[in-house]
Structure 1
Amino acid sequence: MSHKQRSLFLTLAHRVGSLKNSLDVLSKHKVNLTKIESKPARHSNKVFNFIVDVDEDVSSEQIERALSELKRTDSVQEVQLLGGKSIPWFPRKLSDIDYFSSQTLEAGAELQSDHPGFTDHEYRGRRTLIAEIAKSYKIGEPIPKVKYTEKEIGTWSVIYKELTKLYPTYACEQYNYIFPLLVQNCGYSENNIPQLEDVSKFLQDVTGFRLRPVSGLLSARDFLNGLAFRVFHSTQYIRHHSVPFYTPEPDVVHELLGHAPLFADSDFADFSQQIGLASLGASEEDIEKLVRLYWYTVEFGVCVQNDKEGIPRTKAYGAGLLSSFGELKYSIDGIDEKTGQKPEYRQFDPEIACKYSYPITTYQPIYYVATSFDNMKEQMRKFASTKLDRPFALRYNPYTLSVDVLDSEDKLLTLTGTIQSNIDTLKFALEKIRQNKGLSFEYTSNNNKNEFESQ
């Protein structure tokens, strides 16, 4: 009986006999192979990866028995059944991100000839100096602080003053709630460029998201992979002072005024991580879909929220809007004052939005409107689980800051136990709420101890 071609992805300890031991297990269970391909592990020199194609006549039962034994073999660190599809490498734990964070495509210290700062040697020198911080950084370390020049702070100040005038009217309510907290805790002001370290620590305390410095643009896959671990790659350099309201690439203004605030909102943080998790091991076709969804939401998303009178209003939450004076007004007012151009507004549906390309040098002709971050998060979760072609399921482990590939019964049983524990906690909390109905409690601090006081 013929079966669909399948492959095994093996991660083996880099020592003598590891491959032979694995092949012996496959031979024992009569799993015939048609091809063996070795791949050096991108994230470590202590392991080696192999992709082995299985003969189409080998039964699923034979493969399952072999997999079960391989997972108990000391030299086998991980094994996946790929269903005949070769999947791209992807990070399994937080520290793996360091591997690709220095592999930028462009920008950083290198500038194109049409860049506003191309002929400014002083500016280019600053870009080179700041880019070196990102190149030597390792995840988990304190992010080195940049001593910004008066000229750089002046550029920030011009943008900051103009944008903060618009936020109360044009930005979503979550942004307007969080922004004063960044002023209070992270040094946001017109005369100070916040440091990534201060903002990152604040975000970690609130939602577990963190910032990681990067010297330039990453590939789409690498950038999205970082989001899976609640890591946002952020530049530290600032745009050229000659055109403060324009930048051809992301800079610290875009990162800290556009992106960072909403990573402090739990629903938005969850949504961003959902896109990241969907990108792990995804095909190039699916990465393109996810990039479009990221663009139409995290970068240029708008939503509908009621104003104080209960009237629905369109508000901006996308970083590309919140860091752009002109497009922020255009996206919400619905017209370009200079050209008369009007955008189209469509209800956000990931299955539809992922099919449409977008311009990167002009205002967006289409904005996708979300009803809420929570609903958007659920839409993304459903889309990732039903519309993407990935032959395995993943689970993020917040305790180890790693992802688990759910490819065995043991892992599913462990997950079931975790879910049951959470359900038990939920039931217990609900019982306590019912028992204490009519009572209110507040925390008081006494000698660094938290105590309940019944009111």
Structure 2
Amino acid sequence: MQVTGPRTVPWFPRHISDLDSFSQKTLDAGAELESDHPGFSDMTYRTRRAAIVENAGTYKFGQEIPRVDYSEDEIKTWGAVYRRLKELFPKHACKEYNQILELLEHNCGYGDDNIPQLEDVSQFLKKCTGFQLRPVAGLLSARDFLNALAFRTFFSTQYIRHHSMPLYTPEPDVVHELMGHAPLLADPDFAELSQQYGLASLGASDSDIVRLATCYWFTVEFGVYRQGEDYKAYGAGLLSSFGEMEWSCAKKAEGEKGPQYLPWNPAVAAEFEYPITEYQPTYFVADSLADATEKLKEFSENQIVRPFRVSYLPYSQSIHTDRLVKRDTYEGA
């Protein structure tokens, strides 16, 4: 009888401290800007970003997240966005978001005159759902970013967009992270949705990582759900963009052009193409955050094929597999 050993799968972290190895694996260097970036020719801005990015490069699991002494101009930029978004939240943001934002204003210094510190927000999230933030220098690969979610860890930038265009950014910045992503990580259903993406990504094939990342785009980034007769935003890309929040959720007059709405179905969404530099032409609509989570769980269990099952052990902050598995060599090793 032929005896075979454990199958080899793509490397994945087994303990939360393994996420330290991601710090130097960003797809961009944080301070390196594209020529069309508003701050490309501003050397003062680029030097400032580089200084903030250093926090991520040296951060290790268990440390306090370094605090940033934001400048007056940076706070003004944050404030301009904050005030504009707050005008829209009561009408277009989901009810969970509005409830949590009030708590963040009371507990973490959210306001138009202050940029919250990642450490304070992270401690708040830990008390609510066990999620935590950690600084990152720039964009991670889809696999690394999703893997971290399995440990209820969200990689967040600390730098802010250029002051010349406060209502626009070509990349994730601290406004997108703290206004878009962080609040709903305090909600149990949304936190479970986010972690489910992470657990499903561990040891998954490259093609399944693409499918999961696409579903993530249509939920955590650009998700809406139906609340009565209205569409409400729960995706970070909508909650941090006043223009697309209105485009996705505002009722359209008869004859007015608007997006297409499809029922949230991960098997369908996973095969969808989407633009990254313009408003989404299609949104997938869940019945609730819990509905979004349950449908993703079913999709992950039935369509993400792996030779093992995983579970997260919160007390040891580690991953358990139900059988022996051999991980491929880590690319960052």
Q: Same fold (TM over 0.5)?
A: yes
2:47 matched to 1:131? Answer: no
1:345–1:366: 8 Å Cα contact kept in structure 2? yes
The aligned runs of 1:47-446 (5 Å cut-off) are 58=2, 62-63=3-4, 81-82=6-7, 86-306=8-228, 312-333=229-250, 341-407=257-323
**What is the percent sequence identity of the aligned residues?**
57
Q: CA RMSD in A?
A: 1.3
Match of 1:73 in 2: none
User: TM-score by structure 1 length?
Assistant: 0.69
Deviations 1:106-138 (A, max 9, x none): 151111111110000110011100000010001
User: Across the two proteins, how many residue pairs are aligned to each other?
Assistant: 322
Aligned to 1:430: none
SS in 2 for 1:363: coil
TM-superposed deviation, 1:196: 0.1
Instruction: Report which of the two structures shows the higher radius of gyration computed on alpha carbons.
Output: 1
Greater share of residues in strand:
1
User: How far apart are residue 334 of structure 1 and its match?
Assistant: 5.0
**Amino acid in the other structure paired with 1:236:** Q
Deviations 1:49-99 (A, max 9, x none): xxxxxxxx60xxx45xxxxxxxxxxxxxxxx721xxx31100001000000
**Partners in 2 of 1:335 and 1:234 — Cα distance?**
34
Structure 1 residue 101, shift from structure 2 partner: 2.5
Ranges in structure 1 where 5+ consecutive residues have no aligned partner = 1-56, 64-79, 307-311, 409-455
CA offset digits 1:220-254 (Å, max 9, x no partner) = 10000010100000000000011111111100000
Amino acid across the alignment from 1:228 = A
Q: Distance in 1 between matches of 2:42 and 2:158?
A: 18
Aligned-partner Cα distance in 2 for 1:334–1:108: 38
- The answer to whether the Cα contact below 8 Å between 1:335 and 1:343 also exists between their aligned partners in 2 is no
Q: Deviations over 1:329-359 (max 9, x none)?
A: 11011559xxx64100000001111010110
- Preserved CA contact (<8 Å) 1:172 1:317: yes
Structure 2 portions without partners, runs of 5+? 325-333
- Following TM superposition, the consecutive aligned residue runs of length 4 or more in structure 1 with deviations greater than 2 angstroms are none
TM-score of the pair, normalised by structure 2: 0.94
Q: Which has the higher contact order (CA 8 A, sep 6+)?
A: 2
Answer yes or no: is the 8 Å Cα contact 1:334–1:343 preserved in 2.
Answer: no
Partner AA of 1:189 in structure 2: G
